[in-house]
Amino acid sequence: ILNKWVEFSTFPKFVGIVQYNGFTLKELLVSHNEETNRPFKEIQESLDLLNNFSSNFELVSVRRGFSKPSFGMVPLQIDTVTEDEIATKIALDKDLSSRISYYLEEISGKTFSVHVIPNTAVFYLQTRDIKTGLVNNLVNEGTGTNQLVTILSKVLQPNKKFICIDEPEIHLHPSMIEKLVEALVEIAYQEDKQFLLSTHSEHFVTCLLSEVVKKKLQPDDLKVYYLTKNDRSTHIEHQKVYADGQLEGGLKNFYESELKNLETFFKIA
C-alpha cells in the first residue's frame, strides 16, 4: 500500500481511506468519533511496529565485499547498500572501524584500518597481519577476509538489533568459521542482538552447537529450522536444541551426503 490511497470499511456507514508512504500514515475519514477512529488507530499502531522493526533491521546478502582498492566519500542513505556507501560509513565512524578491527583480528589474525590520503576525500581499506606486520589493501585479501569486513560493518551498527545474514560461512576456512560463530554469539549477548542465519554448512551448525556445549550459548536462544523443497512448496521443520549440544533429528542431509561420498570412496556396496 505504499503511496496509495486504500479504502476500507469496518462498520455500517463508515468508510476510511488511508495512505502509507513507508514512514507516516495519512487519513481521510468520512466522520470522526471514537468508534470510527478505532480502525485507523489500530492500523497506525501496526504500522508503527513495522516501522520500528524496519529501522532496527539489517540484511547482509550473499553478494558482499569490496572490489576496488580506493574509495571516495559518497552521500549516505538511511541504509547502506553499495560497497561505496559501506566503505564511507566505515571511514566516517572511527568507533565502528576500530570494532571491526577488533573482531577481524579475533577471527582472521589481521587488523583493519582506514587510510585517508591527506588533503583528499580518497581513502583505502587496509589490513595488517599481526604476525608479519605486512599491510595489504583489503581488496587484495582472500574473499573470506574481504567479505568479513562487510558482515562486521553491518553486525556492529548499534541501532541494528535484528540482522539477517545469508550464508555467513562462505569462503571461510573451518577455523575461521568457528571464530566467526564465537564472535556472533558474543555480540548477540553483549549488545542484545538477534541473528537470522541461513546456511548450507554442517560445520557452521556444529560450531553453534559447540557454543551450547561450552555454555556460551543457551539452548533456548538457538532455534534451528530445517528446510526441504517438495515440488513447488518448502517444508519447514523445527529441530529442538538440547543442553548437551544434540540436535533433534540430527543434521540429516548433511551427513547423508558425506556417507554417500564415503561409500563411493571405499567402494562400499
104 found inside a domain: yes
Q: Tell me: do 52 and 67 sit in the same domain.
A: no
Q: Does residue 80 share a domain with residue 24?
A: no
pLDDT at residue 158, rounded to an integer: 92
47 falls within a domain: yes
Q: Does 68 share its domain with 146? A: yes
Counted residue by residue, the chain has a size of 269
DSSP-derived 3-state class of residue 127: strand
Residue type, 195: F
- What cell was used for 263? 561409500
* Residues 66 and 151 placed together within one structural domain of the fold: yes
SS3 264: helix
Residue 176 resides in a domain: no
Domain encompassing residue 20:
5-56
Write the pLDDT tens digit of every residue in 70-121. Answer: 999 999 987 888 999 999 999 999 999 999 999 999 999 999 999 999 999 9
Query: Does residue 223 form part of some domain?
Result: no
Whether 68 maps to a domain, the answer reads yes
Q: In what order do the strands lie in the sheet with 5-8?
A: 5-8, 16-20, 25-29
Which residue, 6, 68, 75, 71, is CA-closest to 43?
6
CA dihedral 143, 148, 149, 153 (to 10 degrees): 150
Chosen domain end from 128, 160, 192: 160
Q: What burial class does residue 107 get, using C-beta atoms within 10 Å of its C-beta: 0-12 exposed, 13-18 middle, 19+ buried?
A: buried
| 76 and 152 together in one domain | yes
- Same domain, yes or no: 44 and 82: no
Domain count, the chain: 2
Of 110, 127, 160, the last residue of a domain is: 160
**Do 28 and 93 reside in the same domain of the chain?**
no
Q: Are residues 156 and 65 in the same domain?
A: yes
Residue type at 251? L
User: Is 256 a member of any domain?
Assistant: no
- 85 in a structural domain: yes
70 shares its domain with 156: yes
> Does residue 134 share a domain with residue 81?
yes
CA-based max dimension of the chain = 79
pLDDT digits (tens, 9 = 90+) for 226-263: 998 888 899 999 999 999 999 998 886 665 666 677 67
56 pLDDT above the threshold of 70: yes
Digit-coded pLDDT (tens) for 146-180: 999 999 999 999 999 999 999 999 999 999 999 99
* 74 and 42 both lie in a single domain: no
Confidence of residue 28 (pLDDT cuts 50, 70, 90): low
In the chain the beta strands, taken as DSSP E runs, fall at: 5-8, 16-20, 25-29, 57-60, 70-72, 110-116, 122-129, 135-137, 162-166, 194-198, 224-230, 233-239
pTM of the model: 0.79
Is residue 123 located within the same domain as residue 95? yes
- Three-state DSSP class for residue 190: helix
Residue 192 forms part of a structural domain: no
Q: Which residue, 160, 183, 201, sits at the end of a domain?
A: 160
